Structures are given as structure tokens and as C-alpha cells.
Structure 1
Amino acid sequence: MMRRWLPVVLAVLVVVVTTLVRPTGTVSLAGGSNYDFYDLANGCGREKFGTVDSFDRGRDTITEQLRQMYDAGQRRLRIGIFHQHGPDTGTVMDSSTGDLSPADRGQLTDLLAAVKKAGFQEIEVAFHPQGDDSPQDWTAMDEQAYQENWSLIRTLHPLIAAAGIPYRIDLLNEGMPMSSEPVLRSYAKRLWADYTREFGKADTVGFSMTVWIADRATQLHAVYGDNPPDVFDVHLYGDYWNGDEYRQFVDADKKMTALGYHQPWIIGETYYDDGWAAADIRHAIGATGRQVLYVTQWPLTRDRRCSDVDVAPPTHFLTGR
């Protein structure tokens, strides 16, 4: 009886072993976190604790958290500029003039100085327009809001460059459109042309890409033309509807490769301190050969205890090691 089942057992073992030893890859550089909030009210309320807009109030706490994050092995951060045509909230800053207030410019300068002093080696600065300034919600081009957003990027660029940390800029967080988003595509195409005309493309990832990346990849030429960025920023959040991180990665790589885009990636967002995401990313790198420079986790666990953020500060770091 045991011998009769032996071929079946061996076949099962081959499948299991093959699964366990499938090729794995590693990211090129030590990553870190999106560091946008230094505390949460009642476990979820982030608004009063923006690391930029509330830096003066949280200076000592933020400085200590940066030290802890560095000691945990983090070497790169992604810093969000949350802004709107309206008053400061503690996270979202008033950009009505096409610039931040002198106080907010000072807080951003001080935060970047603290990041540098803590020893971090690189940052990505991501623009997050909110409310009426967010082109993801437009049904038609809003000229006034476009000019406000572009002016803010243009006026903050020298401040970011002067911080003395190697940097890249994400012109609109998760701003690469899907094929069904013509207004967002027009916004991104115009902003890319304006930005590269003034600053070139060496210090930008263009527009980061969230889930359904394979579809968004079909819009790369419409947005960038023949002048795409040298590095892409992709966001991987595995779920029931979109597949796990491995499937999203492989599908995106397949589409980009077919379209002739072989640029390395930064994985700008994925679940916080997540072993499953880390394993899927390593497996996908090995399976595709796509170079990933580093990973910066978003402070949200796979359990999604809150809608947007459920961890502050993002001290622990597993993903991408």
C-alpha cells in the first residue's frame, strides 16, 4: 500500500519543494517608511500630527522617532506634502498662494534638517493635494487649482534641493491615471511637461502608480511621451480584488516590459512591517529580474484597523529587507 502511493507522494513533494525554493531577489538599497504622522488620536486620528505641519509642536518627539527608525535599519524616507486651498489642519497645509506659509516652509526645512542629522541617506518628497486641489476628483480641468499645485511644486523645489539630502520628487501621489481617467491624464501630461521644461527629469519619479498598475502602465506614453522618468514609483497592496503583491508586481512588470519600459522601481508604499508583502516582493524580483531600488512602507497594517493609517510612528521595518 505504501509503495502504491509513493509516486503520488513524490509528486506532491516536488510541488512543495519547488514552491519553497522558487527564485528570490533582493532590493538594491536599504529602505524605510513614509513618515508623515508622529502620533494618532485614539489609534486612528492622524490630522493633528503631521510631521511637516506640526513639526514645531512635535519637534522633540519627531527627532526621537527618527533616531529609533534609523536604529531599526531604516535609511530612506518618503515625506508627504499634504496641501489644500484652505486653512492648515495639523497635517494639510494651506497652499492658496501657490506656496506654503513662511511658518510651514520653516517647518519643512527643519524636518528635512532633522532627517539629515539622523543619518538618513535619501528621501522622496511626494505631493498630496487635497480637496478641490486634488485632480483625482476632477471632472474637468481646474485651471486655478492646476496653477496653485504647479506653483507649489516650483516654489518648494529649491527648498527641497537645498536640504543637502539626495532626493526625488513624486509630482502627484498615485497620480498616474488609469485608461478610464482622461482628466487626470491631461493634468499629469501637462504637469510633466512643465516640470521637465524647468527642472529636467533627473530628480523625479514622475507620478507614482497604485493598484491596477498594469492598466496604468498603458498610459505611460500618453503622459511622458518619449521622455519618461529614469525611475518609477509603484505601490503594492495585496487584497482579494487585486491579487497579492506578487501577482500585482509580476503583472505590472509584464506590461511594462511589453511596452519597452525597463526602468528600476521604488516601491513607495506597501503594508507596514509585513512579512507576507516582503516575501512576495522578493519572489517577484527573482521571477522577473526587475530591479527594485528600495521599499518605503506605508503606516497601515494589512488588518486595516483604520481607513488610512493605523501605525504611528512607523518604527519597525521588515518589508524589503
Structure 2
Amino acid sequence: MRTTSLHVTARLPKRAPAQGRRLVAPVDVDRFGGLAADALLAELDTWPKPGLVSPLDNGSHDDMDYDTFLCSINVIRPFFAELAEVGAAGADMTELRGIGRLAENAMLAATGGVNTHRGAIFALGLLCAAAGAACAERLPLSAVGLARIVGERWGREIMRGPIPLNSHGSSALRRFGAGGARMEAARSYPHARTIGLPALRAGRVLTGDEGAARVHAFFELLAAVEDTNLLHRGGIEGLREARSVAHDFLLSGGVGRADWLAHAMAVHRAFVARSLSPGGSADLLAVTVFLDCVENAP
């Protein structure tokens, strides 16, 4: 599996701390920003991911490629650090949304208007804010703990807040009633915690290979998640077909099978033929990797 080093050049101006606010140490802020960027890079480098951009090809997309995603990760990384900083200082959802919008604007400027990471900015941004809050309050940095902070502190405002009109998730919400990324965050990331993390660790046991373990986790998420990107591109039938194919891959042994790579590649080609792209599952894979790294890093 190919891995690419990420050299970050974008930097945000340091903001003066608000009166009476506690700020997490800068080294921790940078650490969380780096872990979020590394999680996005790990997701990008995972292949085959049916229908999605990877080092292999552009999947079902003709407006973005591997370098587009690298550029996007490079630009949005500092915003994750800032979200950790304001999370440590007790930021409310309004402040978090403001930084998220700045990150999204920077992403669109860097990619020529292509949405590479809108969902990931939302999901990982909230978790970075939760990590900052946990550090400020000397709470354990566990996957369950960080996810719970997001749901308990910001969950109500996440569900009550404005719904963007131009996102695939909001389109799926209006057409199919799907909860998408907002519901996942408000409920403390149940799919990442109870499906993604166990699958990632099971994949390591099966193969001893990090890339293959991420593929295993991706297929487990794909089989379980009501992916709003799939609903947007393929409707209910596209979602059902994608989940069924993922179930078949797992029931046949997943990455524990000797020919798993050929099987996964066949699924990838089928998704491309139907223009299916499970971007929501990809975002949850990045969340899974981030939670795993936060919990296990020194």
C-alpha cells in the first residue's frame, strides 16, 4: 500500500485568547491537528475503496484526483489545530461552525471549488474540539470519551443548527429522511465506535497489515452505514446494492481471504461502472483511524 508524506505549509494566524479562557498547550493543539490530517491521509491511501479516489485511480469522480485530496489536506490541517484550541477554551457550536466554514472556504479555494473534505471537516473538527476539551479538563483521551463529549456538549445544537442546502447529506435528508453526518456526530459516532474500530483491529489480526485493516474497516462501515453520498448518487437501490455487495465481501472472509484484493477490486470496478461513491463511509473511516490513533498514541 502506498503512503505519502504530508508536508504542511498552510498556517493560521494565532488568535489572542479570550479573557478568562484556558487554552491547551500548543504542542497538544498541533498534535491533534496532525492526527486529524494523518487520518485523512490514511483514508486517502487506503485502496481499494469502491468508487472512491485512492492512489490507484479517481474512482467514480472526474473532477478530483489523489493530488486534489493532498492539496486539500494540506490546507485544512491548521484549522483542526484551531478547533482543538477553542475546544479547550470551552467554545460553543456557533464558534466551531465559524471555524469550520473558514476551513471549508480554504478547501474550496485550494481545490478550485471541488468538495473533497466537507464531511471530514465537520466530523474530525468536532472530535479535535472534543480532544482539546478533554485535555483542558484532564479527561482520558479515549475513543468513547471523545465521541461522548461531542454528543453531550454539542449534539443538540448539531441537530438544531442550520442545514446547508448544497450538500449531498442535506439533499438525502430531504429526499429520504437519512440522518447522515449530523446524526452520527450528535449520537457520539456509534458506527465508528462500534463497527469501525472493532473492524480495524480485527483486520490487523487477520493480516498484520495496516492498509488491509483499513480496507476491512471500510467494508464493515459500508455494509452498515446509511451513506448519504450513495443515496445522492444511486438512490435507495444504489444504497441497498452497495451494502449487499459489502456484506458479501465480508461473509466470504473479508481481508482474511487469500484473494481478497481481487474481490475488492471487482467491487471497486462495479461501483465505478454505476458511478457510486460512498463518501460518508470514507469520512467514518477517517474518524475511525483518528479515534484509534488518539487512543493508542503515546
In which range does the TM-score fall when normalised by the shorter chain?
A: 0.3 to 0.5
In terms of fraction of residues, the more helix-rich structure is 2
TM-score by length of 1: 0.31
In terms of fraction of residues, the more strand-rich structure is 1
Bigger Cα Rg: 1
